[in-house]
């Protein structure tokens, strides 16, 4: 699972890194982002990337807790996610994410960064939903997969982290083959740094 993350880039840095036009008025870097916070996501419309605000967590009609994560192994099978996988993919930028290691009653918080990479795109899905007043807003979820060897020391899940090359393919709306898209559901193979905080 991925339940907290960080994004310290300024908006002009995000625009350059993701070759995107900004539609998120009021964006600011955040040391720690929580579920239900409004976050920047990268989507593609008319062959152009845009930074849009989205609430982290899809509405969950079976539980009060929002769906902040989708399992990569079954994302093409679950009714909640399978159409989004085909039609509404996004990138969720992050500079690190957080996880907790549980040992008995003790929980230790870890900051997880990628080695030699300042910012990365997590694979996400989004949809348009109505807010409490009935106005349309974007909501999103982060796709997760089994942890790599280093990450498994503290938790068994981690976000699906895309390479720069795969980011462009992931955002390509013309790709609608779920089997091809499932190829992106891979554990991150690069180095990561775990820092207890």
CA-based nearest residue to 75, from 152, 3, 165, 170: 170
Active-site residue list:
2, 99
pLDDT in tens, the chain (197 residues): 789 999 999 999 999 999 999 999 999 999 999 999 999 999 999 999 999 999 999 987 777 789 999 999 999 999 999 999 999 999 999 999 999 999 889 999 999 999 999 999 999 999 998 888 888 999 999 999 999 999 999 999 999 999 999 999 999 999 999 999 999 999 999 999 999 99
Domains and CATH numbers, the chain: 4-196 (3.90.1680.10)
Contact predicate 41/54, CB 8 Å: yes
Q: How far apart are CA 86 and CA 29, in angstroms?
A: 30
Q: Which residues lie closer than 8 Å to 109 by C-beta, 6 or more apart?
A: 98, 99, 100, 196, 197
165: CB partners within 8 A, 6+ apart: none
- Phi (first) and psi of residue 2, to 5 degrees: -130, 110
Q: What is the pTM of this model?
A: 0.96
């Amino acid at each position: 699972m991925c339940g907290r993350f960080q994004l310290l880039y300024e908006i002009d840095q995000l625009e350059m890194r993701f070759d995107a036009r900004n539609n998120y008025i009021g964006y600011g870097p955040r040391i720690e982002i929580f579920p239900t916070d409004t976050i920047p996501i990268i989507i593609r419309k008319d062959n152009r990337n845009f930074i849009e605000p989205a609430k982290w967590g899809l509405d969950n009609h079976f539980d009060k807790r929002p769906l902040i994560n989708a399992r990569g192994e079954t994302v093409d099978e679950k009714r909640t996610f399978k159409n989004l996988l085909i039609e509404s993919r996004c990138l969720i930028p992050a500079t690190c994410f957080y996880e907790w290691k549980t040992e008995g009653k003790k929980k230790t918080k870890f900051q997880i960064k990628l080695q030699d990479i300042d910012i990365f795109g997590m694979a996400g899905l989004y949809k348009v939903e109505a807010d409490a007043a009935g106005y349309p807003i974007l909501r999103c979820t982060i796709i997760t997969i089994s942890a790599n060897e280093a990450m498994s020391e503290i938790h068994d899940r981690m976000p699906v982290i895309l390479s720069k090359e795969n980011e462009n393919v992931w955002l390509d709306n013309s790709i609608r083959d779920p089997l091809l898209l499932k190829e992106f559901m891979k554990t991150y193979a690069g180095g990561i740094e775990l820092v207890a905080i």
